[in-house]
């Protein structure tokens, strides 16, 4: 199973303060807009999403079909195939992708410690 590009999606209290902090660690804004409440920051292959007021807690995010530059990749496991594989293994999903239509879709699950994992396919 190939989950695609990985990032940590962080729920932040102050977007500007968090941006300044991660810039001090060598991250640069890669995407997103402050007036929309988020920045995607990059340091080499490491990606961190900073989100103010969009969700509670932090989320581990995977993007099937994308590389770490948000560019489409030729071959990838579709989110619906990943979903079917996880369900066949008895893993409970808290949100599921439409099992019929190709293209964008997402699924959500939690690990044994309650950490939220988002598999978010944009292509």
Tell me: the pLDDT tens digits for 30-40? Answer: 999 999 999 99
CATH code for the part of the protein at 5-121:
3.10.180.10
Tell me: the pLDDT tens digits for 53-84? Answer: 999 999 999 999 999 999 999 999 999 999 99
pTM of the shown model: 0.91
**What does the DSSP assignment read for 69-122?**
TS-B-SS---HHHHHHHHHHTT--EEE---SSS-S-EEEEEE-TT--EEEEEE-
CA torsion angle 110 114 116 119 (round to 10): -20
Among left, alpha and beta (phi > 0; psi -120 to 50; other), residue 26 is: left
The reported pLDDT for the residue numbered 99 is: 75
Q: Residue 90 above 80 pLDDT? A: yes
What mean pLDDT is reported for the chain? Answer: 95
């Amino acid at each position: 199973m190939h989950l695609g590009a990985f990032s940590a999606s962080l729920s932040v209290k102050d977007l500007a303060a968090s941006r300044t902090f991660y810039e001090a660690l060598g991250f640069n804004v890669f995407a997103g807009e402050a007036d929309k409440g988020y920045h995607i920051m990059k340091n080499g292959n490491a990606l961190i999403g900073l989100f103010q007021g969009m969700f509670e807690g932090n989320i581990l995010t995977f993007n099937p079909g994308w590389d770490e530059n948000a560019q489409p990749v030729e071959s990838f496991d579709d989110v619906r195939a990943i979903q079917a594989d996880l369900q066949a293994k008895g893993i409970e999903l808290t949100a599921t992708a439409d099992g019929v239509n190709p293209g964008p879709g997402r699924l959500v699950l939690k690990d044994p410690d309650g950490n939220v994992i988002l598999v978010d396919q944009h292509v």
